[in-house]
Amino acid sequence: MAISEHIRELMSGSSWIRKMFEAGARLKAEHGADKVYDFSLGNPNLAPPERFPQTIRAILDEQVPAKHSYMQNAGYLETRKAVAKTASAEQAVSIGENNIIMTTGAGGAMNIALKAILNPGDTVLVPSPFFMEYRFYADNHGAELVPVPSAAGFEPDITALAAAVDKRTAAVIINSPNNPTGAVYSENAIAELGTMLEKKSRETGRSIYLISDEPYRHIVFDGLTVPPVMKHYRNTIVATSYSKDLSIPGERIGWAAVHPEADGGDELAAGMILANRILGYVNAPALMQRAAARLQGEWVDAEIYRKKRDLLCDGLEKAGYELTRPAGTFYLFLPAPGGDDEAFVEKLQKQLILAVPGRGFGAPGYIRLSFCVADEVINGAMPGFEAALDA
């Protein structure tokens, strides 16, 4: 047997995005890349802000001792200080550098948090629809992900989440702005969630941690802001990255923050730092850490994505699609015409359009379109969207 039965099982149910990637490669080979309209991947197409390459060049030119060496597993002190200042402003809580761990992207941050808090057999709750990798992250550490259907507008259903909590519940994952829906959770929903988790932690006799996955925090539209999570619940861990904020997903740089008043917070942070090492990340990349320290407050222009959102939504509404415009991210999550998401995605493929079925995010009956693409892709796909709907 070449691989374990468990990995074989996980592979058989692996990401729909990966399946769409493979379908796209086949279609592009058959028809030419310029004839295929790929809305499947959340791969930012904007260039990073000009300060990013300028900063990288400056760091490379500087004579810094041990510029590319190992550092403390939590990351460079000066970077953690800079991040702590930003995180404090975003979360409306005073966060110190010892509560920050620099990580290999948001995925690294999520995994070190889960590694530190999970026991085999624990459960992790998540509002559905959800980013499909969460299921694998929980499984990595011997736990089970339990999806809980969201309320109207894809806000967390606090009553349903409360009913799903039991003595095995170790954590709740939230993701706002949300992938795949583009929903931005209201501050009222966050506050209600915090109150519920405080109550349930007392009832179950264990600290239930809230893990807030926030890589899209700065990609919001129409004057919205993303409310703080730590302000409303002390047992919070924030995980995020610069992949979308700075449009550098391939550089794999992010961070995790532990609420300074979390139960066992010092031990939790120490456990996450150990997990950073023993899971094989060791450190976040040194060059990217040095850059992150200097680029706090620098983001891509979300207005560009807002224009792409409106270009896509205007065209689809004119063609006859029903949709709700996302408040953030660069994803549109809309009901699949006819109700069968997989069947409609196949219809789109016949028009050389790639989309992802909602069942891949725990929401059959929807499709996800990623609009971080060139305007020419959006405009060129419109006849195909019309033909698929007519079919």
Matching residue, tokens 């066992």? 264
Determine the pLDDT at residue 250.
96
Tell me, which fold does domain 5-48+301-390 have in CATH? Aspartate Aminotransferase, domain 1 (3.90.1150)
The pLDDT of residue 198 is: 98
CB hemisphere CA count around 106 (13 angstroms): 23
Look at residue 1 in the predicted model and tell me its pLDDT: 62
Domain spans in the chain, listed from the N-terminal domain onward:
5-48+301-390, 66-294
| Beta pairing class for 209-213 and 169-175 | parallel
Q: Tell me the two tokens of residue 232.
A: 């409303």
209 φ/ψ angles, rounded to the nearest 5 degrees:
-90, 140
pLDDT score, position 184: 98
Q: Which residues of 173-205 are buried (b: 16+ CB within 10 A; e: fewer)?
A: bbbbbbbbbbbbbeeebbbbbbebbeebbeeee
Cα gap 156→190, rounded to integer Å: 9
Q: Specify the pLDDT at position 304.
A: 98
Give pLDDT, residue 209: 98
Taking a C-beta distance cutoff of 8 angstroms, is the pair 189, 156 a contact?
Answer: yes
Q: In this predicted structure, what is the pLDDT of residue 15?
A: 64
d(CA 76, CA 292): 11
Structure tokens at 16: 């729909």
Rounded to whole angstroms, how far apart are CA atoms 144 and 114? 11
What is the 3-class SS of the chain, one letter each residue?
A: CCCCHHHHHHHHCCCHHHHHHHHHHHHHHHHCHHHCEECCCCCCCCCCCCHHHHHHHHHHHCCCCCCCCCCCCCCCHHHHHHHHHHHHHHHCCCCCHHHEEEECHHHHHHHHHHHHHCCCCCEEEEEECCCCHHHHHHHHCCCEEEEEECCHHHCCCHHHHHHHCCCCEEEEEEECCCCCCCCCCCHHHHHHHHHHHHHHHHHHCCCCEEEEECCCCCCECCCCCCCCCHHHCCCEEEEEECCCCCCCHHHCCEEEEECCCCCCHHHHHHHHHHHHHHCCCCCCCHHHHHHHHHCCCCCCCHHHHHHHHHHHHHHHHHHCCCCCCCCECCEEEEECCCCCHHHHHHHHHHCCEECEEHHHHCCCCEEEEECCCCHHHHHHHHHHHHHHHHC
pTM, two decimal places: 0.96
Position 51 scores a pLDDT of: 97
Second-level CATH architecture of 66-294: 3-Layer(aba) Sandwich (3.40)
pLDDT (0 to 100) of residue 8: 80
In contact, 370 and 40? CB cutoff 8 Å: yes
pLDDT tens, 171-215?
A: 999 999 999 999 999 999 999 999 999 999 999 999 999 999 999
What are the two backbone dihedrals, phi and then psi, of residue 8, each rounded to the nearest 5 degrees? Answer: -60, -40
Inter-residue contact 210 to 263 (CB < 8 Å):
no
CB 254 within 8 A of CB 115: no
For the stretch 311-330, pLDDT in tens is 999 999 999 999 999 999 99
Burial letters 123-144, b for 16+ CB under 10 A, else e: bbbbbbbbbbbbbebbbebebe
241 touches 254 (CB < 8 A): yes
Under-50 pLDDT residues of the chain: none
Distance CA 20, CA 24 (A): 6
Query: What local confidence, expressed as pLDDT, does residue 24 receive?
Result: 80
Give the model's pLDDT for residue 9.
Answer: 81
Identify whether the C-beta of residue 349 lies closer than 8 Å to the C-beta of residue 27: yes
